[in-house]
Amino acid sequence: MITMKTLKIFLIAVFTVFLWGCNEDIMDEINTNVNDATSADAFAILPDVLLKSAYTATGTDLAWYASAFIEHSAGQWAQHHDADRRLGLHATSHFNNHWNGMYDILNMLKIIERRCASGGPEENNKHALGISQVLQAYNLAVLTDFWGDVPWSEAVTPGIIKPKFDRQSVIYNDIFALLESGIANLQAAVAQGTNGPNAGSFDYIYAGNNQKWIKAAYSLMARYHMRLSQRDTQAASKALAAIANGFESAADDFLFAKYEASQSGQNPWFSFLFQRSHLCVSTTLFNLMDSRNDPRMVIWFSQLGDPADYNPAPPGEADRVQGGVYSESLITLNGQTLPTPMMTFHELKFIQAEAHFRNSPQGDYASALQDAIRASFVFHGLTIEDANAYYTAEVAPLLAANALNEILIQKYIAMYEHEAMEAYHDYRRTGVPTLYNPYNVTVGFPHRYQYGLSEETSNPENFIVLDIYADKVWWAGGNELAP
């Protein structure tokens, strides 16, 4: 028969053993996350922001919708058939994923910047610091060009969960400042004589080449100065100054060229058109090229029927079909591993042509335009001779008649189709070319993209309600909506 005392001792002993099993140190060890790294250095994060800058920011939904709005393409199926009819575009859910995705990129870039800034754990990594700033400028511009006034000065900042919206004019100042510090840091990296440890393998774009990054930064600077042509009387001369330090040839192109011929590694435009067939060639683009006998049509557009012929679709009025009826983009269908262009040499040359035209005194815009067309032809696999013939026979007479219009038309054509975002921005800035979607009249042209649902629901105090069909962004002549 046991006594109360022995029982007590026994119970205390048992409980002590188990109490030891739950002390804080042991519990901490048990709760350690062994699946993910607890920190990552700049070069470990860099590939993901480079990929996302090409993919999320440049190569997917933002551009596909721009391509339909600008009538490079017509929506023949599903959401893009709807988009052509201006259905659902005002919903905050529509671009929510990409809204969040853009800030995801900017957040990662800020993390890199903080790591490499003075006082950070990698304060000597000027190379990564410079790249992070150039990419911030690039992604911030994508953001504000589509969405106008957006959260920035308080965005992606630890401790702030309801960032205020900033005016686009202020954001543009930051874009130029970021490019300038990016250039300065990249130059410091050149002075250090190093690209950082094994930088090449982590740098999808330029394999650690600081000089090429500097040229890309200047080229972007030219693009963003020209974007302000309505707002800055010095836009053209500032653009020309930047161009002087920009790309020297297509070898300097700011491209993401690491796609692989597999389903999980291929170019997203290819995936999209191949798997979904939402877009086909629009009559607006086709007619501009057809009237100029543009030789790029053969390699750009598919032909159907017997005898085979082009069949572009009228924007806003395409029948709803999933492929097989209208001409589609051969650039994309043949482009499983095609690079995503974030900025090309031919775009820079078009900017130069426009800047020369707009500058006072005017510069030699014609030769810049001819260079641009040549670079575009070569970019798409044609020859300089093809370009020269085309320029002489088709472009030169039109240039003589209406120079700025033809420069912008030529740029509009050349931006097909992976650079459609630039065509969309140019149209909103210049009104070129003429668009034909009847819903632009009955509903309206989408002058900007709707903000994300997450911002509407989780930052309602600062959220700006807007009408995408009426409210132009600041550089396109609209009012700034942020307080």
Partner 1 sequence: MKRLCVFLALVAFVGVNFLQAQTVQITGAVTSAEDGMPIPGVSVMVKGTTIGTSTDADGKYSLAVPQTATTLVFSFVGLRTLEAVIAGRTVIDVVLTFDALALEEIVVTALGIRREKKALGYSVQEVGGDEISRSSNPNLMTALSGKVAGLEVRQSSGMPGAPSTIFIRGARSFSGNNQPLYVVDGMPIASGTDYDQNVTSSYHGSRVIDIDPNDIESVNVLKGQAAAALYGLRASNGVIIITTKSGSQAKVGKPMVTISSSYSMDQVATLPEIQMTYAQGVYNSNVGEPVFNPVNSFAFGPRIDQLADKAILYNSNGTINTVYAGNVWTDGSGNTPYQGMFFHPQKGAWVVPKAYNAAEGFFETGGTFNNHINVAQSGALGNYSLGLGSTHQTGIVTNTGLTRYTGKMSGTMNLSDMFKVGFSGNISAVDMDKLPSGNDSWLFTVYGSPPSYDLMGTPYHVPSGPNNIYRQISHRVGAVGENPIWAVNNNKFHEATQRFFGNAYVEAKPAEWVNLRYQIGLDTYSTDQEVLYQMGSAGTGQAMPTVTAYPNPDNPVYGYVVPTGGRINNFGVIRRNVNSLFNATFTHQFTDDLKGILILGNEFVHNNMRSWTMTGSGFSMPGYNNMANTTTQTAGESKGQSRTVGFYGNLALEYMSMIFLNATGRQDYASSMPRGNRSFFYPSVSLGFVFTELGALKGNSMIPFGKARVSYAEVGQAGSYYDVSYGPGAGSWSGYITTVTYPLGGVTGYRPSRTLYDPNLMPQNTKTLEFGLELRLLDNRIGIDYSFSEQNAKDQIFAVPLAGSTGYTSLMMNAGWMNTVSHEIMLYLTPLKMGDFEWNFNTNFTTYTSIVEELAEGVETISLGGYVTPNIRASAGETYPAIYGNTFLRDDNGNVLVNENPSSAGYGMPLMGDFGKIGDVTPDFYMGFTNIFTYKFITLSAQLDWKKGGQMYSGSNRLMDLYGVSKRTEDRTTPFVWDGYKADGTPNDIERGGPSDIVAYEYLYSSVLSPLDESHIYETSFVKLRDVSLSIAIPNSIIKPVGLQNANISFHARNFLLWTTLPNFDPETAQGMGNMVGGMDYMSLPQTKSFGVGLNLTF
For residues 108 and 186, which CB has a smaller minimum distance to partner 1 in the complex? 108
Q: Does 153 participate in binding partner 1 (rule CB under 8 A)?
A: no
- Site residues for partner 1, 2-31, by CB under 8 A, read 2, 7, 11, 14-15, 18-19, 21-22, 24, 26-28, 30-31
CA angle 393, 394, 398 (to 5 degrees): 125
Tell me how far apart the alpha carbons of residues 174 and 179 are, in angstroms, rounded to a whole number.
Answer: 8
The site for partner 1, by CB under 8 A, has a size of 111
Q: Does 263 participate in binding partner 1 (rule CB under 8 A)?
A: yes
Q: Minimum distance between the CB of residue 30 and partner 1, rounded to whole angstroms?
A: 4
**What contacts 67, CB < 8 A, 6 or more positions away?**
73, 279, 417, 420, 424
- Site residues for partner 1, 184-243, by CB under 8 A, read 201-202, 204
Tell me how far apart the alpha carbons of residues 231 and 228 are, in angstroms, rounded to a whole number.
Answer: 5
Q: Are 327 and 356 in contact (CB under 8 A)?
A: no
Q: Does 33 participate in binding partner 1 (rule CB under 8 A)?
A: yes
Tell me how far apart the alpha carbons of residues 370 and 150 are, in angstroms, rounded to a whole number.
Answer: 37
For residues 82 and 290, which CB has a smaller minimum distance to partner 1 in the complex? 82
Q: Does 61 participate in binding partner 1 (rule CB under 8 A)?
A: yes
For residues 157 and 211, which CB has a smaller minimum distance to partner 1 in the complex? 157
Q: Does 251 participate in binding partner 1 (rule CB under 8 A)?
A: no
Tell me how far apart the alpha carbons of residues 128 and 120 are, in angstroms, rounded to a whole number.
Answer: 13
Q: Does 470 participate in binding partner 1 (rule CB under 8 A)?
A: no
Q: Does 107 participate in binding partner 1 (rule CB under 8 A)?
A: yes
Tell me how far apart the alpha carbons of residues 154 and 112 are, in angstroms, rounded to a whole number.
Answer: 17
The binder of partner 1 chosen from 324, 431, 477, 483 (CB under 8 A): 324
For residues 22 and 251, which CB has a smaller minimum distance to partner 1 in the complex? 22
Nearest Cα to Cα of residue 421 among 345, 311, 344: 344
Q: Minimum distance between the CB of residue 403 and partner 1, rounded to whole angstroms?
A: 35
The binder of partner 1 chosen from 87, 184, 241, 481 (CB under 8 A): 87
The binder of partner 1 chosen from 169, 237, 271, 405 (CB under 8 A): 271
Q: Does 137 participate in binding partner 1 (rule CB under 8 A)?
A: no
H-assigned helices in 359-419:
365-379, 384-390, 396-401, 403-414
Q: Are 138 and 57 in contact (CB under 8 A)?
A: yes
For residues 47 and 120, which CB has a smaller minimum distance to partner 1 in the complex? 47
Tell me how far apart the alpha carbons of residues 371 and 246 are, in angstroms, rounded to a whole number.
Answer: 15
- Site residues for partner 1, 338-357, by CB under 8 A, read none
Q: Does 140 participate in binding partner 1 (rule CB under 8 A)?
A: no
Host H or E run for residue 169: helix 168-192
Q: How far is CA 174 from CA 62, 134, 363, in A?
A: 22, 11, 29
